[in-house]
Amino acid sequence: MPRIGALELDPALTAAKETRERREDGWHRLIALTGLPPLAATAAIREAFLDTLWAAAAPGGDAPVSVSLRTGRAFAAHALRLTRENLRGGGEGAFSALLEALTPWEEAETASTAPWGIAAQGAILAVPCSGTLDAPLTLAFTASGTVYFPSFTDGARTLSFSGTVPGGKTLLLDGPREKAWLDGADVTGQCAGAFPRIGPGPATTLQYLDDPDSSHTGSAALSWRDRWV
């Protein structure tokens, strides 16, 4: 069901047209929504519905609004143009809304998660993905014993930490923000390489590596939001 902010639109009364437009700075996503207020409603109800729609599409200031055209997916957008038509008999009739997404992709509204038990140097984990674009990964690695110079790779991107993770401590790799934390302390400056990502494809294979003198043991909690072009 289409949704602008918290307002759900009747799919039987709403049409959506999506356009991907190439500009100098890359791809942009435009969404044109057209539709009608609830049928057989009084003029006052129709007018109130469109008042709510306008408020949802343009909440004020420069704040973006969350838009969903498909179940489980959403993107942030700004309204470029809002139109409402008066019926001849009074009250409100058809509406249209032109919005521009802040990103050219949709993102899962609910994060996917996966556990990873690590018991050896070179441990691997296959992570399924239903998206069509690479998605940033958040990885929280808790060492069971002392670990030196851990690194994580998706086969194309590898992030290495040039420090020690004591047993019981957690190294957090925040892919969306490209930051790293060791028990709350910012250690981004001790990391080199690129943050691993998930997808696209049936599965992404992650691999763990560390120093030969490490315990090679720990557990990782993975979190990501699938993306679709």
Q: What CATH number did the domain enclosing 169 receive?
A: 2.60.120.860
> What phi, psi does 41 have (nearest 5°)?
-95, 160
Residue where a domain terminates, one of 104, 131, 159: 104
pTM, entire model: 0.88
Cα gap 60→57, rounded to integer Å: 9
Check residue 100 and give its pLDDT: 97
C-alpha dihedral sign at 228, 59, 48, 33: negative
Domains contained in the chain, number: 2
How would residue 90 be classed by pLDDT, with cut points 50, 70 and 90? low
Alpha-carbon gap, residue 126 to 170, rounded angstroms:
22
Q: Which domain holds residue 93?
A: 3-104
Give CA separation, 170 vs 36, 77, 116, 122, 220, in Å.
52, 35, 14, 19, 9
End-to-end, the C-alpha distance of the chain in Å comes to 19
Kindly state the helix (H) or strand (E) to which residue 93 belongs, with its residue range. Answer: strand 92-101
Each residue's pLDDT tens digit, 137-174: 999 999 999 999 999 999 999 999 999 999 999 999 99
User: Beta partners for 115?
Assistant: 221
Query: In the prediction, which pLDDT does 16 show?
Result: 97
Do 94 and 163 lie in one domain? The reply is no
